[in-house]
Chains A and B, each alone.
Chain A
Amino acid sequence: MKKVLATIYLIIAFFIVYFLQANFFSWFTIGGIKPNLFIIFVLFIGLFAGRKMGTIFGLILGLYLDLLLGRTIGISGVLLAIIGMLGEYLDKNFSKESRFTIMLMVVICTVIYELGGYLFNIVRLGIPLEIFSFMKILFVEIIYNILIIVIIYPIIRKLGYALENVFKTKNILTRYF
């Protein structure tokens, strides 16, 4: 029951993130460059709710975004699913206690997502390669995502551990104790 409730909360949170990205952050840009809240959101799910939830949420949310605004269907789904999957791997290897490691995780995920999407579009849509412009946009986007992490880290931690308690409860075999 708790899991169902938590999943509903996550779906509501996705829509809040979507409206923030589509409205507020379309206007509140650094030199016209927007952050990517979806990367932070899916990484958050992968880190605290586990690989399964991260992958499923990443895939569904990515497909939803592709259907809504994308030029091709599927690539955002696949890339966000990879980020969701990466969440648990990063959780096992790095500490979530530190703001710095979360920032580092966001940097890695932003590079994977944007580079993957850009390369796919080059191959699939035949868009010309503009390496310097792409790097410039990516750099500003990473900085923006890092600043957002610095600001919302206390919320991430608080909500994250609440989510972890729901999805990652360890099944202790009491009879052996």
Chain B
Amino acid sequence: MYKNKKTGIVGIIITIIFLILLVVATNTDVSKVSYIENIVNNLVMPIQNGLTYLKNKIAGNDSFFESIEVLQSENEELKKKNSELEQTLREFEVVKAENDTLKEYLNLKNKYQNYSTIPAYIINRDITNYSNTVIINVGSEDGIQENMTVIADEGLVGHVISVTAHTAKVQTIIDTATAVTSKISTTNDTIIVQGTLEDSTALKATYIPTDASVLQGDSVETSGIGGIYPKGIHIGTIREVINTNNITDRYAIVETAVNFRKLDTVLVILNNETK
């Protein structure tokens, strides 16, 4: 395809750079690219400031004109205070991160203290784009069996579909093959939530009763029907209700309480009945 070796290498390098840019661009949160925002701001803001100054002057806003020396000394003082605050903030962030980790472990245990649980780590995630199963580091030797419920601090994760001696395969609720009978906690209306290919952070809620009033922000939890998931485990909140011409076809998008991309620690409920 390429005429000589040099052109071939250049082609490969260009492709690698293109791939990296593509991956970075498609995975970067807009809020995290504040430096780009800064560049864009720097291009426009000096002119905008000048225009505002002119506008204020024309409007007779004299408060703008203060002694430059006073402003400079004030600025120096504020800079000093700012650096002190930044230092305190950094220390606070370190303490907060430590606190969060400790809380996560404690919360997990306390929140579901009515259930007999065993903690586990996710050691492998799905390698394909069309399913969402994970492997956890506990297995039959730890008392894990098929169909046991897996939860996290924020809510429901999924259920165990197969077990080996030291690992277990968990089918998450965002997997397209999972359907969970659940209920809207405010109205107690029963719905079915199912994973979709479209969005790995949301579920599709169907079979909404025609007389049910579903509102954005309503909490969804397991109903206990079906025999796998215990009753009352938080699944997520209604993000959007999609109305169709036929009311029986309407559905809702449920935002999962668990962030599956960042999920690392889970609890496996050993008995579905409370202690």
Contacts and interface: CB of A to CB of B under 8 A. Distances in A.
A68 B23 CA distance: 27
Contacts of A118: 130
B62 interface: no
B129 A30 contact: no
A171 interface: no
A150 B11 contact: yes
A134 to B, nearest CB: 6
What 4 pairs across the A-B complex have the smallest Cβ distances?
A: A31-B26, A133-B197, A99-B1, A125-B177
Contact of B1 (A33, A65, A100, A126): A100
Given A69-B133, A99-B1, A26 B127 contact: yes
B259 interface: no
B16 A117 contact: no
Nearest to A124: B177
Q: How large, as a class, is the contact surface on chain B?
A: 20 to 34
Contacts of A125: 177
Contacts of A31: 26-27
B196 interface: yes
B115 to A, nearest CB: 26
B129 A137 contact: yes
A117 B127 CA distance: 14
Interface residues of A, number: 40
B129 A34 contact: yes
B124 interface: yes
B135 interface: yes
B200 interface: yes
A154 B5 CA distance: 10
Interface in A44-90: 65, 68-71
Interface string B172-212: 00011100000000000000001011101000000000000
Interface in A107-157: 114, 117-118, 121, 125-128, 130, 133-134, 137, 141, 144, 147, 150-151, 153-154
A32 B1 CA distance: 31
B126 interface: yes
Contacts of B8: 154
A171 B128 CA distance: 41
A98 interface: yes
Contact of B196 (A30, A69, A133, A153): A133
Contact of A71 (B1, B125, B131): B131
Contacts of B127: 18, 21-22, 25-26, 34, 65, 69
The interface centre, meaning the residue of A22, A71, A130 with most chain B CB atoms within 10 A of its CB, is A71
B128 A151 contact: no
Contacts of B197: 130, 133-134, 137
B161 interface: yes
A70 B175 CA distance: 12
A32 B27 contact: yes
B19 interface: yes
B125 A133 contact: no
Given A69-B126, A128-B194, A29 B27 contact: yes
Nearest to A140: B129
Contact of B124 (A25, A69, A144): A69
Contacts of B130: 114, 117-118, 121, 134, 137
29 contacts: A22-B124, A22-B125, A26-B127, A29-B26, A30-B23, A31-B26, A32-B27, A34-B128, A34-B129, A69-B127, A71-B161, A99-B1, A99-B2, A118-B130, A121-B130, A125-B177, A127-B176, A128-B176, A130-B197, A130-B198, A133-B196, A133-B198, A134-B197, A137-B129, A137-B130, A144-B19, A150-B15, A151-B16, A154-B12
